[in-house]
Structure 1
Amino acid sequence: MQRLSGLDASFLYLETRSQLMHVIGLIEIDPSTVPGGYSFPRMRSELERRVSAIPTFRRKLDNSLLNIDHPVWIEDDDFDIERHVHRVAVPAPGGEREVADLCGHLAGQTLDRGKPLWELWFIEGLADGKIAVMLRVHHANVDGVTSAEMLAQLCTMTPEPPDLDSQQVAESAGGTSRATMAVGGAVNYFVQRPIAMAKLLPRTLDISVGWLRRSFSNTGMPAPFRAPRTRFNAPISPHRSIAITQVSLDDVKRVKNRFGVTVNDVVLALAGGALRSYLEDKDELPDRPLVGMVPVSVHGLDEKDLVVPGTNKVSGMFTLLPTDRPDPVERVEAAAELSRRSKAHHAEIDGNILRAWAQFAPGTTMANLMKLYGDRNLAASHPPVFNVLISNVPGPDFPLYFLGARVSAVYPLGPIFHGLGLNITVFSADGHLNIGILSCADHAPDVSVIANGFADQLKVLLEVCEA
């Protein structure tokens, strides 16, 4: 039995029928490289073998009415691969649009909390003969770094099936004990929480005062609730729109080297340009820069005396996006300067503060408040916290094979929230920058326009490099 951290559990409490808290990996594979040829039953059997060495995929939630703390993970003794792995075919002609529509439909479905919180779909019938694999995992189970590590466990550098790690096979979340769960939860709630609160309050006060001072002097991250309103900042429904695109990582690095910035700066500039073009075409471009929230991994960060265990080890950095700059070169330079300013500010903040405060998340109360917030459309009654969530996750720069099939692309897709209905996630792998965009179909059914904007913006910057 392993208790969830407050941050991991918060993704459960935040989830409603409209606000779905799972992350998605859309993998394009070439079935012609599979030893012995592609066969869905054979692929599912090999996946079952590999899952036996991935403890995260074998654990499920458990809770008790007497437990006043967060739920726990336990081993699923009735694990059945057929309840998690499915196959489906896209309608003709099997192009990118058909794949995106199907994935958007699947992305809008909740995961069954009575079994391990993941599922995988083999999507056949693509026009180019390839197969798409859609993996959905609840955010309580993974963050950006752990999802990349999970991909590494499912993929190999050669088509041949790997040997399994015997320690991972033997690892178990354990069984359940209602008494232990209740007593441990009471100790955490009544003893450890007050001590942690006493330590957190003075640190948090210092951070808040410093943030406000920096924000109003324009020397740090923008403060929450100061973003301009866009069509993405509205209450959301369960309907999802998805778009994917791929650009050359070498081209991105050419721009990076030309302007003396980082890859992440170029990504922010491309996103700012694509969003500017999208909103400008709809005559909805705000006169102020949009505000992006960039998740920052705190894996390996010294946790000092804060008790913050769990899978999700992430903080967040706010930064302005140069959507107010019409010139692409100015956008790159501005994105780099704004990012440097935000990074310097974020570096002064203890990265574990968010995780530490999440330990106090009240489960039932938080879930009911979130449902009320969504049902009453309260996201429309206050300024947006930020406009868009932008993640950049580095991956392996060499070829990968998924169950023996050569991987041609890996597109990540993150969750959206009421009032924060646009997520852009970037994953670099094998010489490409893979970009996944997810939004609410009721507000932005045409996010493919934003995806195309990345290539358009990069093309303009490459022309500047050549000149």
Structure 2
Amino acid sequence: MVDRVSTRDFAFLSAETPQTPLHNATIEIFEPGESGFDYNRLVELIRDRIAFVPRYRQRVQFVPGHIAAPLWVDDEKFDLAFHVRRSALPRPGSHAQLLELASRIVSRPLDRTRPLWEVYFVEGLEGGRVALLSKTHQALVDGVQTVDLGQLLLDAQPKPREFEPDDWQPRKAPAPGAMVAGAVRDALTDGQTVVNTMRGTSRALTRSVDARTKRARSVVGALTGRRPKSRGVISGELSQQRRVVTVETELSDYRKVRRTHGGTVNDVILATVTGGLRSWLMTRAESMGGIKQVRAVVPVSVIDEELQATSLGSQIAAHFVDLPVGEASPVVRLHQVSYSFQAHKETGRSVAANRLAGVAGFAPTTFHAIGSRVAADELRRGYQLSVTNVPGPQAPLYAAGAEMLASYPVAPLVSGHPIVLSVTSYNGGVFYGITADRDLVPDADLLGLCIREALDELLEVSSSGRQRAPRGRRTTSGQSKPKR
């Protein structure tokens, strides 16, 4: 049976450009201890478990003439050593050096002629620690047939789970003539094949026209001396280079703020992001520029039979929230964010954080991948920022006996959006990953510092004993809260 690339996955493949490589990444830090966790152990671990994600041994095969959507076919030359790579920092490698390495790696598109994933084993970190940097294309992880490989590599106990040996043998890819015949047959028996092909082709043509239009505008601007209008402080034309920034905080701090001012941990995290954005924008040359709100898309987990089913027990939907960066009071910012999620909670579709954290394996890697897909689908709705927050297990996890100390998500950038934020909570920590365009956002590290300071500000007002502002009542800042 032909395994044809789905409409949605074909759209991601068609939309990808050198400026917008569409892969999700994760940086995980491990303490090897006495486990002997090294590159060879990692290769063996992946070899033992890759059978649970067959697509990780398949590549994309385009049909001659592009008369139909491409196929997923087994990679007859599959080489695990190509996908699992070894790297090192000069000892003792700092966290900043690790992020610089990660920035270069996530800037590079994946090889389309091979299965669309890579894992880097990075040695030489200070304290004898090691890091895993995984990179997986959006078209590979849909949460339906395929979850992220990172979800399968971690165990709840230091002793790894044992599995039956894998005797996988690749199936031979169909010949070009057979692919054309299959495409014609599918077109005659399944109209959706034609629709899928037209959608993918139209996206490619639109992208080509847009690129030519941009080049023409650049030439006209150079000849006339006209400069293109600024699209704002967090938008613009992307380069091919990325910058990765991380922030590590404590989950107990968010819970403390929640106990004082109400809401949820997710509300406090988004209020922290809002405060960080506010401070960061105020440091830039453009200042706030009259900005009062930043429109953000926040993928959320829901129970909705009308959405695409996933193997994670829930569906992922887009929720839009206006982050009040123009509000000076951290407490008012928190309540405005909390209020925006109240209607979603009252629909009965929302899924509790502890349920997500209880999904088998380290599910945040898969949830982040699906969240990035959802954000990409919503581009036409005009948001400015994507923020994905995924709760993970609150107990230590292990890879081949080595304890995972931290997990930083690294989401891809989409056209016109030079910043994206992702958050994972794990084992008492809350880990931020900021992906930024290196040219448009050279001060991305300052944004990370502002996020940390925004959390400190919330903690300070929580410790001072200030009471939360009632809804519908005027606050000390002179702004009134919206009424339900």
> Smaller-chain TM-score range?
0.7 to 0.9
CA distance in 1, matches of 2:18, 2:144: 26
Conserved in 1, the CA contact under 8 Å of 2:76 and 2:170?
Answer: no
Per the TM alignment, residue 185 of structure 1 is displaced from its structure 2 partner at its CA by 4.7
CA distance in 2, matches of 1:315, 1:64: 32
Q: How high is the TM-score relative to the length of structure 1?
A: 0.76
Residue correspondences, number: 398
What SS does the aligned partner of 1:128 have?
Answer: helix
Per the TM alignment, residue 109 of structure 1 is displaced from its structure 2 partner at its CA by 0.4
Q: 1:172 to 1:8 in 2, by over 3 A?
A: farther
Matching residue of 1:324: 326
Matching residue of 1:427: 424
What SS does the aligned partner of 1:32 have?
Answer: coil
Matching residue of 1:219: none
Residue 233, structure 1, aligned to residue 235, structure 2:
yes
What SS does the aligned partner of 1:399 have?
Answer: coil
Q: 1:144 to 1:53 in 2, by over 3 A?
A: closer
Q: Deviations over 1:242-269 (max 9, x none)?
A: 1011111122122123222112211111
Amino acid at match of 1:100: L
Q: CA RMSD in A?
A: 3.5
CA distance in 1, matches of 2:189, 2:311: 22
Q: Deviations over 1:212-264 (max 9, x none)?
A: xxxxxxxxxxxxxxxx9533200101110110111111221221232221122
Matching residue of 2:297: 293
Per the TM alignment, residue 94 of structure 1 is displaced from its structure 2 partner at its CA by 1.7
Conserved in 1, the CA contact under 8 Å of 2:75 and 2:170?
Answer: no
Conserved in 2, the CA contact under 8 Å of 1:244 and 1:435?
Answer: yes
CA distance in 2, matches of 1:189, 1:44: 43
Residue 284, structure 1, aligned to residue 281, structure 2:
no
CA distance in 1, matches of 2:184, 2:300: 33
What SS does the aligned partner of 1:123 have?
Answer: strand
Structure with bigger gyration radius: 2
Q: 1:409 aligns with which of 395, 406, 409?
A: 406
Q: Deviations over 1:176-226 (max 9, x none)?
A: 4513344225544468959xx9xxxxxxxxxxxxxxxxxxxxxxxxxxxxx
Amino acid at match of 1:294: V
What SS does the aligned partner of 1:156 have?
Answer: coil
Q: 1:91 to 1:173 in 2, by over 3 A?
A: same
Mark the runs of 5 or more structure 2 residues left unpaired by the alignment. Answer: 200-229, 351-369, 465-484
Conserved in 1, the CA contact under 8 Å of 2:304 and 2:349?
Answer: no
Matching residue of 2:159: 160
Matching residue of 1:82: 81
Matching residue of 1:215: none
Q: Deviations over 1:131-185 (max 9, x none)?
A: 111000001112589997643311111222212278x987999954513344225
What SS does the aligned partner of 2:127 have?
Answer: coil
Conserved in 2, the CA contact under 8 Å of 1:292 and 1:319?
Answer: yes
CA distance in 1, matches of 2:156, 2:310: 29
Q: 1:98 to 1:459 in 2, by over 3 A?
A: same
Matching residue of 1:333: 335
CA distance in 2, matches of 1:247, 1:146: 34
Structure 1 residues 138-147 or 394-403, which shifts more? 138-147
Amino acid at match of 1:290: V
Structure 1 residues 450-459 or 423-432, which shifts more? 450-459
Matching residue of 2:22: 21
Q: 1:437 aligns with which of 434, 438, 442?
A: 434
Matching residue of 2:209: none
CA distance in 1, matches of 2:68, 2:43: 37
CA distance in 2, matches of 1:186, 1:446: 54
Conserved in 2, the CA contact under 8 Å of 1:141 and 1:311?
Answer: no
Conserved in 2, the CA contact under 8 Å of 1:291 and 1:386?
Answer: yes
Q: Deviations over 1:366-405 (max 9, x none)?
A: xxxxxxxxxxxxx9xxx99222110011222211112321
Q: 1:193 to 1:343 in 2, by over 3 A?
A: farther
Q: 1:70 to 1:400 in 2, by over 3 A?
A: same
Q: 1:123 to 1:187 in 2, by over 3 A?
A: same
Matching residue of 2:215: none
Q: 1:145 to 1:409 in 2, by over 3 A?
A: farther
Conserved in 2, the CA contact under 8 Å of 1:47 and 1:403?
Answer: no
Q: 1:45 to 1:190 in 2, by over 3 A?
A: closer
Q: Deviations over 1:439-458 (max 9, x none)?
A: 10001122122222222222
Q: How high is the TM-score relative to the length of structure 2?
A: 0.74
- Between the two structures, name the one with larger relative contact order (CA 8 Å, sep ≥ 6): 1
CA distance in 1, matches of 2:145, 2:272: 26
Q: Percent identity?
A: 28
Conserved in 1, the CA contact under 8 Å of 2:41 and 2:400?
Answer: no
